[in-house]
Amino acid sequence: MGQFIFSADSHIREPNDLFTGGLPKSLQYGALQGTRKDGYIYTMAGEKVLHRLRLGDAAADIGRSARLGASDLTLRRQDMEADGIDGEICFPSLGLMLYFLKEPELELASAQLYNDWNNRFFSPHLDTFVRCGVLPVRRQEDTLAELKRIAGLGFTAAMLPVAIPGDVATYNSESWDPVFALAAELKVVLVFHTGTGLETFVAERGPGAAVINYSRQMNDGINTVMTLVAGGVLDRNPGAQICVIESGASWLAALAERMDEVYHAHNYYVQPKLSLLPSEIIRRQVKVSFQHDRACIMARAVTGTQALMFASDYPHMEGTFPHTRAVVSKLFDGIDISEQEKADILGGNAARLFRLARPEFAAAAA
Ligand code: MN
């Protein structure tokens, strides 16, 4: 039997009428949906275009027109089998745009629709797929209530945006403490997927834009971890576990050491004081997903091996599908690392963190 491989970053495409069909008439003006036109995929909230993506040449890549498993679990399992993936946590597609929705009622109702659909869709398949809910953030009573509700359904993970929208407090604010305390109590991992909450994914349009816009996704992770650690939210809520998804992972070691250096060097000005060094808080509570960057493996003495989770980003074009086996086979080349650590990075860390419902990962879940 081969190694158990879990993707800590995959996506499911919701039914396109999930929101248009599910929201009451009064909230239809902001229903998320996708449309294809003139070689682009448009993501809309009602009539408003939120995001436009030029369709890539998927056929050239995988010999057929689409990732067949984007919305169909039977076909998805076939792609997983071919690609050597044994389990996944699935994040939304349309639902990634939740934080564009400015009105609290609309944000909450959309989150609930997504979470209920996700629950129905994945619940018969929990030995392979981990459910991840989305949390509204415009009103904290909604955040707390929805977190509690989905934890009651058995969800082990829930998304918050990397970029805080509107006038919601930033992550270095004490006002986030109740959310992180509740997540710790309910053992729900808080997930920060790159791009969520950003005004635009396309910050640069000039030379190098494609490389710049995608590389800067690691800034999402740096900003999120930096504010949560420096502001004390993670320190005050030591049971809260967070993970940063699709921002790469190798920056985490550099950030941990940099924050320690600054914490000491500027100690006179540091407020709040932390009960542990930033790097120790990171080791205790921060996990990251990655596809290709290997410096994180070489620097695992700083972050801990348990921080690192391999991911495919299926079905996205920039993910490792359909070449995951080849990527995995070279991931540890030239790195002195035990078989146990390899197994943890490729699947064990994520399966235990997200409490994948398989007996071999159950012991650590308690
Ligand atoms: Mn992703």
3-class state of residue 190 by DSSP: strand
Closest residue by Cα to residue 226 from 258, 267, 265: 258
Other CB atoms within 10 A of residue 196 CB: 26
Mean pLDDT of 173-196: 97
Residue 14 reports pLDDT greater than 90: yes
* Cα(306) to centroid(ligand 1), Å: 20
* Cα(220) to centroid(ligand 1), Å: 13
- Domain boundaries, position 123: 6-12+73-365
- AA identity, residue 203: A
* Sequence-ordered list of residues with C-beta below 8 angstroms from that of 75, at least 6 positions apart, any chain: 68, 69
Query: In angstroms, rounded to a whole number, what is the distance separating the alpha carbons of residues 297 and 203?
Result: 29
Higher pLDDT, 31 or 317: 31
pTM of the complete model: 0.95
Query: In angstroms, rounded to a whole number, what is the distance separating the alpha carbons of residues 295 and 190?
Result: 25
* Cα(195) to centroid(ligand 1), Å: 9
Average pLDDT, the chain: 93
* Cα(245) to centroid(ligand 1), Å: 7
Q: Is residue 124 part of a domain?
A: yes
Q: Is residue 147 part of a domain?
A: yes
Q: Can the peptide bond before residue 272 be classed as cis, meaning omega within 30 degrees of 0?
A: yes
- The region that residue 356 occupies, defined by phi over 0 for left and psi between -120 and 50 for alpha, beta otherwise, is beta
Q: What is the largest CA-CA distance in the chain?
A: 60
Structure token pair of residue 4: 């158990």
Q: Is residue 52 part of a domain?
A: no
Q: Is residue 138 part of a domain?
A: yes
What's the pLDDT score for residue 200?
Answer: 80
Q: Is residue 366 classed exposed, middle or buried when 0-12, 13-18 and 19+ CB atoms within 10 A define those classes?
A: exposed
Q: Is residue 53 part of a domain?
A: no
Other CB atoms within 10 A of residue 304 CB: 18
- AA identity, residue 289: S
Structure token pair of residue 312: 């495919």
Residue 97 reports pLDDT greater than 60: yes
Higher pLDDT, 138 or 40: 138
Closest residue by Cα to residue 251 from 222, 228, 230: 222
CA angle 147, 151, 156 (to 5 degrees): 105
* Cα(312) to centroid(ligand 1), Å: 8
Query: In angstroms, rounded to a whole number, what is the distance separating the alpha carbons of residues 354 and 221?
Result: 19
What's the pLDDT score for residue 179?
Answer: 98
* Sequence-ordered list of residues with C-beta below 8 angstroms from that of 280, at least 6 positions apart, any chain: none
* Cα(193) to centroid(ligand 1), Å: 7
Query: pLDDT tens digits for 190-222?
Result: 999 999 998 887 889 999 999 999 999 999 999
Mean pLDDT of 212-237: 96
Domain count, the chain: 1
* Cα(298) to centroid(ligand 1), Å: 23
Query: In angstroms, rounded to a whole number, what is the distance separating the alpha carbons of residues 348 and 66?
Result: 29
Residue 22 reports pLDDT greater than 80: yes
What's the pLDDT score for residue 366?
Answer: 44
Query: In angstroms, rounded to a whole number, what is the distance separating the alpha carbons of residues 165 and 167?
Result: 6
Residue 58 reports pLDDT greater than 70: no
What's the pLDDT score for residue 64?
Answer: 52
What's the pLDDT score for residue 365?
Answer: 46
* Cα(265) to centroid(ligand 1), Å: 36
Q: Is residue 38 part of a domain?
A: no
Mean pLDDT of 147-153: 98
Closest residue by Cα to residue 326 from 290, 291, 289, 288: 291
Of 34-38, 50-54, 150-154, 217-221, the range with the lowest mean pLDDT is 50-54
Mean pLDDT of 218-236: 97
Query: In angstroms, rounded to a whole number, what is the distance separating the alpha carbons of residues 220 and 199?
Result: 13
Query: In angstroms, rounded to a whole number, what is the distance separating the alpha carbons of residues 282 and 303?
Result: 7
Residue 1 reports pLDDT greater than 80: no
H or E stretch covering 122: helix 104-122
H or E stretch covering 189: strand 189-193
* Cα(213) to centroid(ligand 1), Å: 15
Q: Is residue 167 part of a domain?
A: yes
- Which CATH number do you get for residue 208? 3.20.20.140
What's the pLDDT score for residue 66?
Answer: 62
User: How far, CA to CA in Å, does 307 sit from each of 146, 243, 297?
Assistant: 27, 8, 10
What's the pLDDT score for residue 199?
Answer: 81
φ, ψ dihedrals at 16, nearest 5°: -65, -20
- AA identity, residue 86: D
Residue 59 reports pLDDT greater than 70: no
Q: Is residue 176 part of a domain?
A: yes
CA 203 to chain centre: 20
What's the pLDDT score for residue 220?
Answer: 95
Mean pLDDT of 164-176: 94
pLDDT category at 54 given cuts 50, 70, 90 is: confident
pLDDT category at 242 given cuts 50, 70, 90 is: very high
**Share above pLDDT 90 across residues of the chain, in percent, rounded to a whole number:** 85
